[in-house]
Structure 1
Amino acid sequence: MASALTPTTGLGSGLNITEIVNALVKADTSAKQTQITRQTSNNTALISGIGSLRSALTAFQDAMKKLNDKDAPSFNAYSAKSANEAVVKITSSNSAVAGNYDVIVDKLATGSKVASQQFAGGASSSISAGKLTISQGGKTYDLDVASGATLQSVRDQINKEMSANGITANIVNEQGGSRLVLSSTTTGAGSDISLSGIAELEIDGTSQMSGTGAGYITALAQDAELTIDGLKVTSATNTVDKAISGLTLQLTGVSARTGSGSTGSPTAVTVAADNDGLKKSIQSFVDAYNTMQKAITSLTSTSRDSDDNLVLGPLTNDPTTRSLLGDVRKVLSEVGAGDSLTTLSQLGINTQKDGTLEFNSIKFTSAMDDKKLGAEVQNLFTGTNGIFERMNNAIDPYNKTDGSLATRKSNLDKAAKQLSDQQEALDRRTESLTASLTKQYVALDTALGKMKAQADQITSIFEAINAQAKKS
């Protein structure tokens, strides 16, 4: 049946019905099809371009975030080294000065560890209901112990309610029974833990436990003790950040002693200008910026194809991209809030004709050695209203999850859906019009076939009459 509706050549007329129908359908739909095809191509290119632009911006912001890691500063003017990190690790800030120090660690800061009396019944031992008060360093914390509590349930309650304060509990099963053991992340002399309020759980954290009684286990909590070039220093924690200006000492172990009563072996700490480290970090920033700039250039540039036709990039002449580039480049030329170092050009960083940055190492070395600007580099990049902060403020309105680029992407996705719906509607019209015209032309061909048959029949009749007349 389908072949009868869509013949290639009409049997009655001899016309090519398929070609006629296709030509008529194309004449009716080609303008709309051309419009949909053009708009779909442009829309797809814009979606791809915006996706690539956002990827480039995100990569640049991630690079700045890495360079601005507070746990691993990238723009310190000085580097500090410890000859023995098993005893002391050291980090420096821009307020440090070059120098050498001998550090001896006599004691590490420790926290409190105390144990309750021994319970012969183990973890299931019953504990009286009441208010359990935990004291440490002048602070007290109250826990309401309900009736039916056990040593284990009290342990769980302490861990639930006190972990935020750095106090945890566990049960240690020793010969003869079990004990509730509490420890603290707080260190330093006077931070010993005591418990009161429930008789069987009372612990005097300043007294050493004896026999089956309660108390501290090994020693009282203590301060760290060290000497720096022979000068005695104490600290409640093992992080000492005020002993030497601009340096933070992380105590990791006690200095080795060569004999009984002898002083510990000193660890040499060296602080020196880190121009190479600064140069590496600045080059990383320049490279990250140039990668972003080159990506944007590829999206906005024009070229010529093999037939010398002009080919536009997906974001060529795009106003949003032009605005973004203007905002980003403005940051590079702005004057910062520093004292002597306020612009990137002072470090040998300048913008080239193609928008990328050039880093002149000779000018940088002069800024470090002759002008002594190393201590201000960190503030220029990572300080308040520094380059990183201003750069992110320029990019975020475009690249945030609710920024202008995300909004444009959402609108383009909606447009893509509308164009897809239009294409489906046009396909349905094409199919319907093709079927309708084919049906009409088949009917016409059938009618012409009948008329031709009738004509042939009439012609045969007249020919028969003529033949009969001739015989008579």
Structure 2
Amino acid sequence: MASISSLGVGSGLDAESIVTKLMAVEKLPLTRLTTRTAGYNAKISAYGAISSALATLKTAANAFYSTKTNLLTSTVSDATVASATSGTSASSGTYALEISQLAKAHSLSSRVAGASETMGTGSLAISNGSNSFSVTIDSTNNTLAGIRDAINASSTNTSVRANILTDTSGARLVLTSKETGASNTISIAVTDNDGNNTDAYNVLSNTNPGLSQLSFTAGGNNLTQVQAAQNAQVKLDNVDLSFSSNTVVDAIPGVTLKLTKENVGTPATVTIARDSTGIKKVADDFVKAYNDLHSTIVKNTAANPSTTLSTSTDAASTASALTGDSTARSIDRQMREALRTVPSGVTGALTQLADAGISIDSSGVMSVDATKFQKAVDTNFSGLQSMMDGYGKAVNTLVTTLTDTNGVISARTTGLKDSIKLLDNQKEMLNNRLTSIEKRYRARFSSLDTMISGMQTTSTFLTQQIAKM
């Protein structure tokens, strides 16, 4: 008898449907494993959201306890003259700033020559400030271009930059100090090695220009000084001051000035003042980051009040990912405790966040009383700094503890991932078993199909024979 290619063809039974329904029952354990895996993945995702919210809070806490760099604004009445930046040690005040001279870098230029015109040979001993170095000039580099490259390539040259500038009259070698200030004058001494001392004073436009034309020392200035090395000359509140750089640090304590233009006779005003708007924004950002963390935890741990978690798998799936998870709720609790505990070193009238108008209500939501906060800024600025510094550090430390590789979030996430791996192994074993079960069902129904088909054939034959009789 020909083999049956599809279940039920020979017998007329809906064997395919029967096998499908039997396998649906057999697959119930696999469905439960898949549901558990999805639940674990949802928990990992929820912890990822909490971890992200903690990272944002840490950034806000860093600003909260680093606000000393943001509590003051520094302005210059004429922004073209200078700019000012205040640091942690700055204090409020105003200063008159007059710049009679900007600091400049020493610059020297050779006489005109061709960039590749041959010069004498020897060596150049160059000094600039605290840096001294020498370059050898021989037949391989005794041109303006060769000398430029030798100076720039010197491993001990940290202070002089060499360039070639060209116009209609020819090329010039230009040496410029990398640092401004009178102490950074470039000095060059020439040693002539070619035995022809007469080339020492030949002008570079001649056919045999001399290497000694590059001298710039007390005894022989054959290079042209383009710009003298000079200090910045400044008056601050009519006090004469001199600086080697146009970036002036701590002339006003805690303030960096960048000088950009001379303003003799028209002093500019430098104002260092409290930045009430900036510090309020720091507080607002901290409050928002805390509330975002709190809402993330609440969202992922809340239970659906209409769901009875103990009655069915379907009911459990409608709850939040971390419903009943003590670790997530512990994070929220620890954060509240950190913000309600006075950090060590914080003393005085402002010790609690609430003293400055920052409070947490009964539902765990933080807010800022703008009027009370501004009063703290106006009446106890140093105390507010100390308080913010203390709580910012406390939150930063707690977040670091929670999120580092040995923290509770990492441990919980690792545990969940391990559980998923175990479930995956179980699912793989169960899938292999289900394949065997389905194969066995199909074999049995195929045999039944063949047997019934044979019986039906016999029945038909007997019916026909009886009818003939």
Pick the TM interval, shorter chain: 0.7 to 0.9
CA contact (8 A) 1:94 1:375 kept: no
Q: How does 1:390-469 map to 2 (within 5 A)?
A: 390-399=394-403, 405=409, 419=423, 423=427, 426-427=430-431, 429-458=433-462, 461=465, 467=469
CA contact (8 A) 2:128 2:160 kept: no
Deviation at 1:286, TM superposition (A): 1.8
Distance in 2 (alpha carbons) for counterparts of 1:202 and 1:343 = 74
CA contact (8 A) 2:107 2:226 kept: yes
1:253 aligned residue = 261
Return closer, same or farther for 1:312/1:456 CA change in 2, 3 Å cut-off: closer
Distance in 2 (alpha carbons) for counterparts of 1:192 and 1:103 = 27
1:60 aligned residue = 57
Distance in 1 (alpha carbons) for counterparts of 2:174 and 2:88 = 44
Identity of aligned residues (%): 28
CA contact (8 A) 1:239 1:250 kept: yes
How well do the aligned residues superpose, as a CA RMSD in angstroms?
A: 4.0
Residue deviations 1:214-236, cap 9 Å, x none?
A: 253222x2111122232222222
TM-score (norm: length of structure 1): 0.76
Q: 1:361 aligned to 362, 367, 370, which one?
A: 370
Confirm whether residue 135 of structure 1 aligns to residue 127 of structure 2: yes
**Which moves more between the two structures, 433-442 or 160-169?**
160-169
SS of corresponding position for 2:328: helix
Deviation at 1:294, TM superposition (A): 2.1
Q: Structure 2: which amino acid aligns with 1:358? A: S
Return closer, same or farther for 1:209/1:197 CA change in 2, 3 Å cut-off: closer
SS of corresponding position for 1:24: helix
1:237 aligned residue = 245
Q: Structure 1: which amino acid aligns with 2:164? A: I
Q: Structure 2: which amino acid aligns with 1:303? A: N
Return closer, same or farther for 1:97/1:26 CA change in 2, 3 Å cut-off: closer
1:285 aligned residue = 286
1:316 aligned residue = 323
Q: 1:218 aligned to 217, 227, 242, which one?
A: 227
**Which moves more between the two structures, 372-381 or 154-163?**
154-163
**Which moves more between the two structures, 308-317 or 432-441?**
308-317
Deviation at 1:254, TM superposition (A): 0.6
Confirm whether residue 108 of structure 1 aligns to residue 102 of structure 2: yes
Q: Structure 2: which amino acid aligns with 1:83? A: S
1:36 aligned residue = 33
CA contact (8 A) 1:195 1:204 kept: yes
Number of residue pairs matched by the alignment: 440
Deviation at 1:124, TM superposition (A): 7.3
The answer for unaligned runs of 5 or more in structure 2 is 193-210, 310-314
Deviation at 1:128, TM superposition (A): 4.7
Distance in 1 (alpha carbons) for counterparts of 2:225 and 2:374 = 58
1:19 aligned residue = 17
The answer for unaligned runs of 5 or more in structure 1 is 256-262, 468-472
SS of corresponding position for 2:98: strand
Residue deviations 1:39-88, cap 9 Å, x none?
A: 22112202321222232223333445567789x932x2x43332101112
1:120 aligned residue = 113
Residue deviations 1:98-138, cap 9 Å, x none?
A: 443322111112222233x34734157578576x5442223
CA contact (8 A) 2:76 2:268 kept: yes
CA contact (8 A) 1:10 1:442 kept: no
CA contact (8 A) 1:224 1:234 kept: yes
Q: 2:69 aligned to 52, 56, 73, which one?
A: 73
Distance in 2 (alpha carbons) for counterparts of 1:17 and 1:393 = 66
Distance in 2 (alpha carbons) for counterparts of 1:69 and 1:123 = 57
Deviation at 1:191, TM superposition (A): 1.3
Deviation at 1:37, TM superposition (A): 1.7
SS of corresponding position for 2:355: helix
TM-score (norm: length of structure 2): 0.77
Deviation at 1:342, TM superposition (A): 4.7
Q: 1:169 aligned to 146, 162, 166, which one?
A: 162
CA contact (8 A) 1:128 1:148 kept: no
Return closer, same or farther for 1:288/1:26 CA change in 2, 3 Å cut-off: closer
Distance in 2 (alpha carbons) for counterparts of 1:327 and 1:202 = 76
Q: Structure 1: which amino acid aligns with 2:270? A: V
